[in-house]
Amino acid sequence: MWVVYIVELVDKSLYTGITNNLERRLKFHRTGRGSKYVYSRLPFVLKYKEYLQTKSEALKREIVIKKLRHKQKMELVEKYK
């Protein structure tokens, strides 16, 4: 099982990523072993997660989400709530 996730950073920017272990990945972000972009904008809040069966599906979905404008990503996050 793979997860596409969105976190909102302290500067209100959004970071989208994929993982097969969400808790471990979020821990990596918090400790600086994940994305430098996220680590430089701590703290963050998990805003969205979407489960997919394969890595390929997750990568494709991540690309679609990353192409969205900030407002569209926020609309996606609101639907998730």
User: Mean pLDDT, the chain, as a whole number?
Assistant: 95
CATH number for the domain spanning 59: value is 3.40.1440.10
Q: Which domain holds residue 7?
A: 2-80
Surface-to-core class of residue 76, CB atoms within 10 Å of its CB (0-12 exposed, 13-18 middle, 19+ buried):
middle
pTM for this model (two decimals): 0.94
* Structural domain count, the chain: 1
In this predicted model, what pLDDT tens digit does every residue of 27-64 receive, in sequence order? 999 998 989 999 999 999 999 999 999 999 999 999 99
Whole-number Å distance between alpha carbons of 53 and 43: 29
**How much is the pLDDT for 6?**
97
Q: Across the beta sheet with 2-9, what order do the strands follow?
A: 14-19, 2-9, 44-52
